[in-house]
Amino acid sequence: MGKRHHSRRMALQVLYAREYLDDPPQEIARRLVDSSEISRSYWNSFCSDLVARTIEGRDSLDIEIDAALEHWRIERLSKVDHVILRLALCEMRTFPDIPVRVTLNEYIELAKQFGTADSSAFVNGILDRLSKQFAEKDFDQRSGSAKEESGAPTPG
């Protein structure tokens, strides 16, 4: 698994811990590294940016997640599933260089690793609804890549 996968996993662990602690994310990350097999290299600029952006956007992320839930209330989400959904939505919103399908796959895998037996299917369904607004982002990236590879000028 790639470094970004491990960084996402660390971001999940840091934000999950913040659900119960008021400590700064850097302090939680340091303790995770000190107490386990987690490499310090996973607390990198991608991970720290993802954590910071998720914390900053928490309220708006929750509003959007709540709107995507059908016959369910956000308060009833497990903490792990809730943090996974926040991270995934934040990544789709604020990291334009990462294809949406990569984000979806990564967080569904994290739901399998950290959630319940039903978490990955549940997270998949909610992320599918949330990702519809970003379908254009993936299309633009594929079009841009094809233009760059063909030597055609890209708009800009």
In a domain, 45, yes or no: yes
Question: What pLDDT was estimated at residue 52?
Answer: 97
Q: Would you state the structure tokens that stand for residue 53, as one six-digit string?
A: 């952006």
- Rounded to two decimals, the pTM is 0.85
Distance of CA 132 to the CA centre of its chain: 16
Positions of the chain with pLDDT under 70: 37, 136-156
Q: Is the dihedral of CA 15, 20, 22, 28 positive or negative?
A: negative
In a domain, 47, yes or no: yes
In a domain, 46, yes or no: yes
What is the amino acid identity at position 57?
G
8 Å CB contact between 29 and 14:
yes
In a domain, 53, yes or no: yes
Question: Residue 99 and residue 93: Cα distance in Å, rounded?
Answer: 11
In a domain, 153, yes or no: no
Question: What pLDDT was estimated at residue 153?
Answer: 39
Q: Quote the domain boundaries for residue 92.
A: 3-147
Question: What pLDDT was estimated at residue 151?
Answer: 39
Residue with token string 């982002």: 137
In a domain, 134, yes or no: yes
In a domain, 152, yes or no: no
Element (H, E) at 35: helix 25-35
Mean pLDDT, the chain, integer: 87
Question: What pLDDT was estimated at residue 141?
Answer: 54
Question: Residue 130 and residue 136: Cα distance in Å, rounded?
Answer: 13
Look at the chain and count its residues. Answer: 156
Q: CATH number of the domain at 120, please.
A: 1.10.940.10
Could you count the other beta carbons within 10 Å of the beta carbon of residue 73?
A: 8
* DSSP classification of residue 132: G
In a domain, 19, yes or no: yes
Total number of domains constituting the chain: 1
